[in-house]
Amino acid sequence: MEQTRQIVRRLGLLLLGLLGGLVVAGLAGCGRDTASTEAGATPSVERVMVVGASTIAPLLAEMAKEYEKTHSDIRIEVQAGGSSRGIMDARQGVAKLGMVSRGLKPDEQDLQHVLIARDGVGLILHKTNPITRLSKDQVVGIYTGKINNWKQIGGQDLPITVVSKAEGRSTLEIFSNYFGVPYKEISAHVIIGDNQQGIQTVGGSPSAIGYVSIGLAEYEAQQGAAIRLVQMDDQIPTTAAVASGQYAISRELNLVFKPPLSDRVRDFVVFTQSEAAAKLVTKQYFVPVARP
């Protein structure tokens, strides 16, 4: 009886060993099949996050759309959030590319940048506002609260609604530097984030004044927005004036990144400086830059 049990036990162990070998062989076979499938598979799609200046975001979205037509292996997602966020997210690796609507500062030289267009910052009024020209001193007076009614400078008897940008936006920084008004001294009634909000706010209020991207303001006015750009001293805010170098409050529109970039992302960056991209720049009412 004992001899029979030992035979059964040995047969059981032998059977387990055979089964184990089959499992291992099966797993090895699966590994070979997977590798073979992956080797012949369609390349994966690389997803790229681009974050930053609201001035650049619509332009980059159009560039991304155009580029993806002939590059199915990449998907580019564009999010606004301000130039400061573009710098921060590019540094931290949260975004592959950052959008910055100004030149880089000395303490931002750890990032590489590519100039894709130029733009200006202009003052906008509601299209029914009869004011045709403002002096630099008047703008400073309006934004510091010393001038609070349009009748004080020859306009209608309406209290002025001052629209300004949120802290961290490069448009605010450029405005503050040019007019010499620190952020803390700006007396604003409405704080906006992106340019579209500024255009909508001024376009919806006959008493409002704001400052936004000249390119976007020209584009939106052409599309029917109830705004117009207003001359400041001898400065006429137009894309043509920015292009000729005659407009003082102009700026760079940059892409920033921390190397290395993948081949796909690098190729997209090269595309943003191409002739095809320059046509999109012009269509968005920005100023193309000389091709490298």
Q: What is the CATH number of the domain that holds 267?
A: 3.40.190.10
Residue 23: its pLDDT value, please?
Answer: 35
Whether residue 123 is found in the same domain as residue 240: yes
Which range marks the domain in which residue 235 is found? Answer: 119-244
Whether residue 67 is found in the same domain as residue 208: no
pLDDT value at 149 more than 50: yes
Share of the chain above pLDDT 70, in %: 84
In a domain, 2, yes or no: no
Whether residue 145 is found in the same domain as residue 174: yes
In a domain, 94, yes or no: yes
Q: Is the dihedral of CA 97, 101, 102, 106 positive or negative?
A: negative
In a domain, 259, yes or no: yes
Letter string b/e over residues 57-90, b meaning 16 or more CB atoms within 10 A of that residue's CB = bbbbbbbbebbeeebeebebebbbbbbbbbbbbb
Higher-confidence residue of 11 and 188: namely 188
Q: CB-based burial of residue 92 (10 Å sphere; 0-12 exposed, 13-18 middle, 19+ buried)?
A: exposed
Whether residue 182 is found in the same domain as residue 164: yes
Whether residue 55 is found in the same domain as residue 139: no
Confidence of residue 47 (pLDDT cuts 50, 70, 90): very high
Q: To the nearest whole number, what is the mean pLDDT of the chain?
A: 88
Confidence of residue 42 (pLDDT cuts 50, 70, 90): low
Going by C-beta distance under 8 Å and a sequence separation of 6 or more, which residues neighbour residue 89?
49, 51, 52, 81, 95, 98
Cα gap 73→41, rounded to integer Å: 13
In a domain, 63, yes or no: yes
Whether residue 123 is found in the same domain as residue 113: no
In a domain, 14, yes or no: no
In a domain, 27, yes or no: no
pLDDT value at 35 more than 70: no
In a domain, 290, yes or no: no
pLDDT value at 30 more than 50: no
In a domain, 71, yes or no: yes
Confidence of residue 205 (pLDDT cuts 50, 70, 90): very high
Residue 168: its pLDDT value, please?
Answer: 85
Mean pLDDT of 276-290: 93
Mean pLDDT of 185-191: 97
The total of other beta-carbon atoms located within 10 Å of residue 7's CB is 10
Cα gap 230→142, rounded to integer Å: 14
Mean pLDDT of 5-32: 40
- In whole angstroms, how far apart are CA 141 and each of 35, 86, 191? 70, 32, 18
> Poorest-confidence range of 34-48, 94-108, 226-240, 263-277?
34-48
Whether residue 189 is found in the same domain as residue 221: yes
Whether residue 109 is found in the same domain as residue 193: no
Cα gap 194→201, rounded to integer Å: 11
Whether residue 215 is found in the same domain as residue 141: yes
- In whole angstroms, how far apart are CA 270 and each of 59, 204, 266, 276? 15, 40, 6, 11
Whether residue 79 is found in the same domain as residue 105: yes
Mean pLDDT of 92-118: 96
- What are the structure tokens assigned to 233, written together? 């001293």
Phi/psi for 185 (5° steps) reads -95, -5
SS (H, E, C) 103-118: CCCHHHCCCEEEEEEE
Whether residue 128 is found in the same domain as residue 113: no
Q: Provide the 3-class DSSP secondary structure of residue 222.
A: helix
pLDDT value at 218 more than 90: yes
Whether residue 74 is found in the same domain as residue 109: yes
Residue 173 contacts residue 210 (beta carbons within 8 Å): no
Q: Output the DSSP codes for 62-131.
A: HHHHHHHTS-TTEEEEEEE--HHHHHHHHHHTSSSEEEESSPPPGGGTTSEEEEEEEEEEEEEEETT---
Q: Which of 220, 218, 198, 217 is nearest to 209 (CA)?
A: 198
Number of domains forming the structure of the chain: 2
